[in-house]
Structures are given as structure tokens and as C-alpha cells.
Amino acid sequence: MPVAEIKSEAPKKFTPYDPAPGEEYMNEQQLAHFRQILLIWKQELMEEVDRTVRHLQEEANNFADPADRATQEEGFNLELRTRDRERKLLKKINETIENIDEDDYGFCEACGVEIGIRRLEARPTATLCVDCKTLSELKEKQLGG
């Protein structure tokens, strides 16, 4: 049985955006670029869901040996947990596409500065700039640890 793959990273199959000198941040071309990345990522996740459904249907065997049955069930549980994480990611992708539609994309929710094209290409659903994200993680670590 294949191990469930987590598609938590943006797709790697895109050409990085190369802004022209003095180009306005989050202009129509940049927004279209990120919409395309998000749509590709969404499609990849949906295809993975379809593969999981087919796999669960095809591999569902009623093993007589309890150890074999337990192994299969554990594998299915791992796949389902992974798909649940991806379901949450799909929701975030859809919200990000809505932000693009509303021309409210690419700026930090905490401080309002530009998040940056390269950061958004690495994590298109990012809502915080690097500094605010780092600060958020430090606060979380202090409160949790």
C-alpha cells in the first residue's frame, strides 16, 4: 500500500514571476499569476482525493489475519487524516482565491506591508509577512512551551 503523500506545498510546476523594474505590486498580471498557481494546486489536491477514494475502494480487503487487517486499517487511517489536512488546505486555497477576486491579496494582515512575490510563490496562502510570521511563531512557542 502506498504511503499517503501530503501536498502541503505549493506546486513546483510554474514559472516564477519576474516583475519589471518599478512594476506596481499586486497588479493584474501578478494576481493572475497567483490565481494560476492556486488553481493548479487545487487541481492537484482534488486529483489526490480522487486517487485516495479509488485506492480505498480497490484495496478494501477483509483479511482473515488480524495483523494484516490492522495494518490495512492503519494505512487507511493515515490516508484519511492526510486527506482531512488537505481538505482544510483546499478551504484556505478557496479563501485565498476569493481574496484575489476582492483585490485583497499579498499584504500582511498584521502590519499591512507587502508579503513579497517570492514568499507568496513558496506559500501562496500566506497572510503574514516573514517578520510577523516569525513573531507569531515565537509568541506561540512561548505560550505553548
Cβ neighbours of residue 110 under 8 Å, at least 6 residues apart? 128, 129, 132, 136
Rounded distance, CA 17 to CA 8, Å? Answer: 21
Rounded distance, CA 1 to CA 49, Å? Answer: 16
Q: Please provide the size of the chain in residues.
A: 145
Is 93 annotated to bind a ligand? Reply is no
Is 111 annotated to bind a ligand? Reply is yes
Is 3 annotated to bind a ligand? Reply is no
Alpha helix stretches (DSSP H) within the chain: 28-59, 66-101, 117-122, 130-144
Is 54 annotated to bind a ligand? Reply is no
Location of C-alpha cell 482544510? 88
Residue list for the binding site for Zn(2+): 108, 111, 129, 132
Binding-site residues sit at 108, 111, 129, 132
